[in-house]
Structure 1
Amino acid sequence: MKKRSFQFVLAFLLLTGTLVSAQPVDAGFINGDLLPNAPELAARGSYGVGVQTLKVVHPAQVDVLHGSAGQHPKYDRPLTLEVWYPARVPANKPATVTYQSTLGRSNDPKRPLIPFTFQGRASRDAQPDPSGGAYPLVIVSHGYPGSRLLLTYLTENLASKGYVVVAIDHTESTYSDLAAFPSTLLNRALDDGFVLNEMARLSGKGSKSFLSGLLNADNTALVGYSMGGYGVLNAAGAGYSPQALKLFGQMSGGSTALESRTQGSPAYPASPDPRIKAVVAFAPWGMERGVWDATGLAGLKLPTLFIAGSKDDVSGYEKGVKAIYEGAVNADRYMLTYLNARHNVAPNPPPAASMQPGVAADEYMHYAEPAWNEHRINNINQHFVTAFLGMQLKGLDYAKYLTVPTGDPAEGWPGFKPRMAVGLELRHAKP
């Protein structure tokens, strides 16, 4: 489309208030597509991608938002899941899907809920492709607030490479049902564990689910962003500190419901679920608040990839994500740092709906990075997560992509085009 025509279409959409999708109108660019300077492993794999939505219920959970300390009622906790998987996509069927999401905050009148749509490269309800056997499982946990659709550039990409990927809408922590923070503090790791159990059940031979025989829950990775990172680290063995329990009690009127997830609790498992083989933690929250101490971080023994911005002003960097990386002394761990990036190093780029007249600037800034191109970040994340999970879950020979480079990044890193690794740092530490 010529520049003048594109400007006319854009002006018309803005003047009429018509809802536009997240990709540029003139290029048909969809979240996760490759920029010309994308690193090697960002490219999609050979599988078609299907997507389905599931509803599950975690019964008899502590309702920390109601009652009082030690007197909380129980409730059946509903969870909505989005599942991406290798699929047989007919040649005559467009491999695109329209996702429905929301801007705003349900508990903030100044940020009203604004439904919007955006496009993805997957086929809704497509027939699964069992040709790869039982695929590794990847469970994805969003931030606070967030949604199961916050990282579609990554979830679709991994499914195209032979993974079953399930992203959770954490109840009381999404844009549309946002509730008080204690629910998020308590339920993140619990939701992750329950979803792992549900995926194992649905993949069983006796299941009538489309997932029957499609995935191997014994070969699972957890991926979390911000509060999702807080949860997946705990689910993987990093027990919370006494300070975390104190903080939780202050926020929840003295409740001790989080105690079972602390390192000192007899109820906290001595080791993580053995089905979990690896962890990816984007900008995990909590270290600056004392959520972990040396004892708790020593409980993390799984291979872990941390991804952070050096100017993170939500989770912190030197005393936040980097301190977690340095304190997890029993894990084979990597840390990718985006220099001068803040907290938004994980999500999709800002949707076009966040740029509409009258929409609060906070909706755009919830996704945006001030010093980085968000599509560029997405491609780099695809590359490194592919390398890391390929090594840990599939035994692929991708070590060179995670070899800590020496010298000037402008001279090139494995898998990067010349001059295109500027602004990145990569660390590696072994137990």
Structure 2
Amino acid sequence: MNTRSICFILVLLLLTGRQLIAQTPGDGFINGDLLPNAPELAARGNYGVGVQTVKLVHAAQLDVLHGKAGQHPLYDRPLTVEIWYPALAVANRQPIVTYASTLGRANDPKRPLIPFTFLGRATRDAKPDLSGGAYPLVIVSHGYPGSRLLLTYLTENLASKGYVVVAIDHTESTYGDLAGFPSTLLNRALDDGFVLNEMARLSGKASTSFLAGLVNPDNTALVGYSMGGYGALNVAGAGYSPQALSLFGQMTGGSTALEARTQASPAYKSSLDPRVKAVIAFAPWGMERGVWDATGLAALKLPTLLVAGSKDDVSGYEKGIKAIYEGAINAERYLLTYVNARHNVAPNPPPLASMLPGVSADEYMHYAEPAWNEHRINNINQHFVTAFLGIHLKGIDYKKYLDLPGPEATEGWPGFKARMAVGLEMRHARP
């Protein structure tokens, strides 16, 4: 064996060792664990966390990727969801779960699909803890492409605080089945609404699901990242603009299927769901492309938390996410800004598998932030999401954590250790 081959094996062993060390329960750092400078509300709650995978089917949906305008076939749209929930501890069993995800893109031969696993702090199929009654529901929607496992640091954290959290694999929008963009434009809001209805059904008195009696669907929040934010804001009341319909038509040869989600549509107004009480949008896409106009943004009336990087080069900041914040004049809203961050202000940190030889650097950069530590972003998100949902879904007096001393003040932030708010801005506006 030559020297070059030996060096390659040593590097591979070193990287593999790093992966094992970083994912060994009790020894290493798992997504969502606290850094020493984590803000106060990032800490986990008192509930154990269970997790289960459920497969749903949204029947008879328009297949806008096939057929032609006005003649799209119907298909049964499969949706896999991951559900985290308050759970009872299992004797003699560590609360550790292995998640299986994928790097790459299904439609890009230069970025082949590469499976990887990572650990979380939950127990697969644990018995639900019904001591808290029916828990508020949080529906989580990933980016394009993405997966239901993209925000496990947050989904586990919320379940430990007494929420049932449901993250969707949006069909034709995941790493493994990525397809044409029009499907994502049409189906994000529809998937969210369908999953809410399914959670209501599965938690009902007649249900034989583990969710029976566990969920209060009348007390729901939406969390979306990138295209997930695009859909969540629409479900929350921000109807799409005529320009959005025109953009959709250009991509589909004239299809008007998106019309029912536009602000001018009577069907859209009748679709708004009073069970949704609040919305959180991380780096929501669309404003720079005219997806919303002043009328649509003014129709958003639910409490809203926007999270953005000031250098976001996918969704845009000044004419993108900040413009949504400024235009939603009838909502109480917050804008948390990571100064100098780009688009990746929501997901788990880059998986160590993306550092292995032969894996494209694009897989690492899909998750990575150039100017921020991703684990720190995760802790900060845990803190502010806990405060926001605590106020609007649980009635907890967490307002001091959100009503901060001016957008550029970096001291005196409740819950933050001294000097640890640098690089952050928080804006707050009321109707």
Q: TM-score, normalised by structure 1?
A: 0.95
Q: Per-residue deviation at 1:272? A: 2.6
Q: Which amino acid aligns with 2:149?
A: L
The Cα shift of 1:133 comes to: 0.5
Q: What displacement does 1:291 show?
A: 0.2
2:32 aligns with 32
Describe the superposition over 1:143-175 as per-residue Cα deviations: whole angstroms up to 9, x where unpaired. 000000000000000000000000000000000
Q: Does structure 2 conserve the Cα–Cα contact (< 8 Å) formed by 1:141 and 1:225?
A: yes
Give the Cα–Cα distance (whole angstroms) in 2 for the partners of residues 370 and 27 of structure 1.
27
1:229-240 mapped onto 2 (5 Å cutoff): 229-240=229-240
Change (3 A) 1:21 1:388: farther
Distance in 2 (CA, whole Å) between partners of 1:51 and 1:276 is 23
CA distance in 1, matches of 2:195, 2:208: 17
Q: Is the 8 A contact 1:19 1:116 kept in 2?
A: no
CA contact (8 A) 1:144 1:174 kept: yes
C-alpha displacement at 1:93, in angstroms? 0.7
Q: 1:23 maps to what in 2?
A: 22
Deviations 1:18-76 (A, max 9, x none): 89469367951000000000000000000000000000000000000000000000000
Mapping 1:358-377, distance limit 5 Å = 358-377=358-377
Residues 236-291 of structure 1: CA deviation (Å, up to 9, x unaligned): 11000000000001111111100000011121125730000000000000000000
Aligned to 2:213: 213
Unmatched 5+ stretches in structure 1: 1-7
Amino acid paired to 1:302: L
SS in 1 for 2:400: helix
Q: Which residue of 2 aligns with 1:65?
A: 65
CA shift at 1:330, angstroms?
0.7
How far has the Cα of 1:92 moved from its partner?
A: 1.1
Secondary structure at the counterpart of residue 267 of structure 2: coil
* Distance change >3 Å, CA 180–CA 18, structure 1 → 2: farther
Using the TM superposition, give the Cα deviation of residue 194 of structure 1 relative to its aligned residue in structure 2, in angstroms: 0.1
Q: How many residues align?
A: 423
1:330–1:430 Cα contact (<8 Å) kept:
yes
Distance, in Å, in 2 between the alignment partners of 1:259 and 1:99 is 37
Whether the 8 Å contact between 1:22 and 1:30 is mirrored in structure 2 is no
- Distance in 2, Cα, partners of 1:27 & 1:34: 14
**Do the aligned partners of residues 23 and 246 (structure 1) sit closer, same or farther apart at CA in structure 2, a change above 3 Å counting?**
farther
* 4+ residue segments displaced more than 6 Å: none
Deviation of 1:201 (Å): 0.2
Greater mean deviation of Cα atoms: 284-293 or 251-260:
251-260
Q: State the shift of 1:412 in Å.
A: 3.3
Mapped pair 1:83 → 2:83: yes
| 8 Å contact from structure 2 (residues 408, 424) kept in 1 | no
Other structure's SS at 2:50 match: strand
- Aligned-residue offset at 1:411: 2.8
Residue in 1 that maps onto 2:188: 188
C-alpha distance in structure 2 between counterparts of 1:126 and 1:239, whole Å:
39
The letter for the 1-side match of 2:189 is A
Contact (CA 8 Å) 1:219, 1:276: kept in 2 or not?
A: yes
C-alpha distance in structure 2 between counterparts of 1:161 and 1:306, whole Å = 21
Q: Does the Cα contact within 8 Å between 1:230 and 1:285 map onto a contact in 2?
A: yes
The equivalent of 2:323 in structure 1 is 323
Letter in 1 for 2:366: H
* 1:112-151 correspondence runs (5 A): 112-151=112-151
Alignment of 1:44 onto 2:44: yes
State the alpha-carbon separation in 1 of the partners of residues 285 and 164 from structure 2. Answer: 26
- Cα drift, residue 405 of structure 1: 1.7
Letter in 1 for 2:396: L
Tell me, in whole angstroms, the C-alpha distance in 2 between the residues paired with 1:103 and 1:279.
Answer: 28
Percent of aligned positions that are identical: 81
Rounded Cα–Cα distance in structure 2 between residues aligned with 1:13 and 1:41: 38
Cα distance in structure 2, aligned partners of 1:362 and 1:385: 29
What is the identity, as a one-letter code, of the residue corresponding to 1:415? G
2:305/2:388 contact within 8 Å kept: yes
Deviations 1:362-392 (A, max 9, x none): 0000000000000000000000000000000
Match of 1:417 in 2: 417
| Residue matched to 2:390 | 390
| Partners of 1:400 and 1:9 in 2: CA distance | 53
Residue 246 of structure 1 aligns to which amino acid in structure 2? S
Match in the other structure for 2:3: none
Q: Which residue in the other structure is 1:179 paired with?
A: 179
1:101-125 deviations in whole A, cap 9, x for unaligned? 0000000000000000000000000
The letter of the residue matching 2:167 is A
CA contact (8 A) 1:105 1:112 kept: yes
- Name the residue aligned to 2:345: 345
Distance 1:175 1:407, change over 3 A: closer
Instruction: Report the alpha carbon displacement of residue 13 of structure 1 after superposing the two structures with TM.
Output: 2.6
Deviations 1:198-218 (A, max 9, x none): 000000011000000001000
- Tell me the CA shift for residue 9 of structure 1: 11
TM-aligned CA distance change 1:401 to 1:168, over 3 Å: same
Q: 1:201 to 1:99 in 2, by over 3 A?
A: same
Q: Corresponding residue for 1:168?
A: 168
Match of 2:282 in 1: 282
Cα drift, residue 12 of structure 1: 4.7
Q: What secondary structure, in the 3-state scheme, does the structure 1 residue paired with 2:266 have? A: coil
CA distance in 2, matches of 1:349, 1:104: 16
1:272 corresponds to: 272
SS at match of 1:269: helix
Aligned residue in 1 for 2:4: none
Task: Measure, in 2, the Cα distance between the counterparts of 1:357 and 1:18.
Answer: 14
Contact kept, 8 Å, 1:96 with 1:121, in 2: the verdict is: yes
CA spacing shift, 1:364–1:209, aligned 2, 3 Å: same
Contact 1:22 1:117 in 2 (8 A): no
**Counterpart of 1:115 in structure 2: which amino acid?**
P
Q: Which residue number in structure 2 is paired with residue 332 of structure 1? A: 332
Alignment of 1:295 onto 2:295: yes
Indicate how the Cα distance of structure 1 residues 163 and 97 shifts in structure 2: closer, same or farther if over 3 A, else same.
same
Q: Return closer, same or farther for 1:260/1:122 CA change in 2, 3 Å cut-off.
A: same
